[in-house]
Each structure stands twice: as structure tokens, then as C-alpha cells.
Amino acid sequence: MIYLFLIFTACSGSVVAQATDSSAASSSISSSDSKTQILNGHRFPSTSYMRSAFVSTSVQADIGFGATSVLTIPGISVGDYEILAFTGQLIYVDLDVQYQQRFTPWLALFFSAKMAGRVGADMSTIMADGVNTLVGGDIGWLVRIKETEKFMLSGSVRLTNIRGNFINVPEYFEEIINNEPYPSVIKQVPALTAGLGLRGAYAFNPTYGLQFNMDYMYGETLARETTQSYFAGSILGDIDFNPKQEVPIGLALGYALSTSPALVMNDGGAANLVLFKIYYTGSDDFELGLQFNMYSTYLKSIDDNAFVKKVMIGFKFYF
């Protein structure tokens, strides 16, 4: 992970922001000839929850911070009364770095490192929900399946390995009450999964584009000695104002559905995510953008869904 950051720092120091205002020149470049994500003269954005269909050499980093809405943590029922109930929020942090190396116009190797955390905003929510972190990454191959002037379709195969670290006081007391042989406040659970995916992109014209991802994974869960299938699907539409208005700004709006523990941070069902991104489109060497994510996910501590808002800053450099 330190090596990836060194690559990121070295590349950022050598990049100069150069606007590419000529849409006619970019429209004549195919994806195989360009190091960036271009089809039919349209430049596609990258996001934290959607991987690109383009076979290119790049390094991408996404850093995020967010929080839940105000949660009501249930207390203890004593007759008709409930005691020790309170309200609070949970804080989320994310860091994801991915490197992709193109070997041929149709084949690339990618690998990533990821760290995610969820913790209470105060001591009461920490006691109720604990401290939850995920550390890991993936490695895989991206293969271009079909390319036309407007359409790109690629397939991926990958292995993902994450380790969940959970500090949970309520579960510890439950284990003691249930006479578990080895109760523990801290649990470390590794989870290895293998998956296949499809990634697509379609450029209507130099201004408008559409991307989609579909992934199926099978492997270990964050509950010990159990396996499960996971699914993730997403769609993203975007508009680039540079070709016609000569304003190097793009906007993207998308939706994602995922049961991956890397997003929901447990095995409690699916997360429905809506994202919006504003990004810079004036360079062939890098991409810079600000992304806003909103999604709902199940939390065992409240036995209900929580609404999460995140802000992420993303960098991507092409070589």
C-alpha cells in the first residue's frame, strides 16, 4: 500500500493541468489509441463504486468520509418501559487505491488495497455498535470482449481478500450469557471471495455517456465458517460540457445495488446507493473529482436500516 502511495505521489508531481479544448481531435481517437477513457469523442468518468471497462494503465485513489443520520439505539425493556435508550450517529471513513497495468489492447492486470472503518461519534454509540474496520484488497484480470465506435464491453475475474476487525461489547455479553466457550470483545474474521464481472460503456455522442457494472462473487462471509454469494450492479450516466461549451467540467449521476461486505460492512443484506460526481475533464493525463454518496444499509445494533451520507475525493492518473 505504501508502494502505491509512492507511485501516486510521483505521478501527481509530474502532471501539469493541460486543457484539451479541441473536441474534433478527441473524437477521432479510439480507446485503443488513447490512454484515457474515450469512446466516440466522449470522456468517461471514474467513480469509487464502479470500475472502468477500459483496458488502460492507471492508478486511482478515492478517500471518503461520511456519517449516518441520527440513530435511535434501543434500550432494555423493563415491563412497559424502556431504559438506557439513546440517540447518536456513526462515522464512516474509506480509503481505496487501485493500480491497473495494460499489457495488450485487450488485456490488463489490476490490484487494489482498501481500508474502511465505522465507529460511533460518541462513547454511547461506540458501546452500542463497537469499532468496525475492514482491511484488504483484490487482484484480477480485465479482458476486453467487444469494442465498436460507441460501445465497449469487458469482462473481469478477480480474487478479493478482506479482514474484518470488530470490537463489540454487546456481543461479548451475549456470548457470556449464552455460555459460549470462548467469549471475546475483539473478533478478527478473514474473508476470501472469487468473482466474475462485466463492465460496459456506451457513448451516445461526445457529450453524453453511460456505464454499467455487474459482478457476481462467492466465498467466505464475515461470519466465521460460512460461505455466501454476493451480487453488485451499478449504472452511471454522465455529461461532459467540454466538447460543445468548452467548459472542462463533467457531471455524473448513478445508482448501485450491492451485498458486498466491503460496502455494507456486515452480512446484513443489500445496500442501495445513489451517487453524484462533479469532475474535471480538461486533461489527458489525470482525472480529479468530488463524489457524493447516499445509501441505506442494515445495522444490527439498531435492528434496522440506517441512512449514510459520504463525501469522497477521487484522483486518477493515466500512463
Higher pLDDT, 216 or 302: 216
Burial class of residue 83, CB neighbours in 10 A (0-12, 13-18, 19+): exposed
DSSP code at position 2: H
Q: Do residues 308 and 118 touch, judged by C-beta distance below 8 A?
A: no
What was the pLDDT predicted at 270? 80
What was the pLDDT predicted at 176? 82
Three-state SS at 284 = coil
pLDDT bin (cut points 50, 70, 90) of residue 40 is very high
Residue 306 above 80 pLDDT? yes
Beta-strand ranges (E) seen in the chain are: 38-39, 42-43, 58-68, 71-73, 76-78, 81-83, 86-88, 90-104, 107-120, 131-147, 151-167, 186-203, 208-220, 227-240, 249-258, 271-280, 286-299, 304-318
Over the stretch 153-179, which tens digit does the pLDDT of each residue have?
Answer: 999 999 999 998 988 877 777 778 888
pLDDT bin (cut points 50, 70, 90) of residue 79 is low
Over the stretch 218-230, which tens digit does the pLDDT of each residue have?
Answer: 998 887 778 889 9
Higher pLDDT, 174 or 60: 60
The mean pLDDT of 256-285, rounded to a whole number, is: 84
pLDDT bin (cut points 50, 70, 90) of residue 20 is very low
Residue 17 above 50 pLDDT? no
| Mean of the per-residue pLDDT values of the chain | 84
Q: Do residues 63 and 19 touch, judged by C-beta distance below 8 A?
A: no
Over the stretch 309-319, which tens digit does the pLDDT of each residue have?
Answer: 999 999 999 99
For the chain, the structural domain boundaries read 2-62+102-111+136-162+193-318
What was the pLDDT predicted at 97? 97
H helices of the chain, in order, are 2-14, 23-27, 123-129, 169-177, 242-245, 261-264
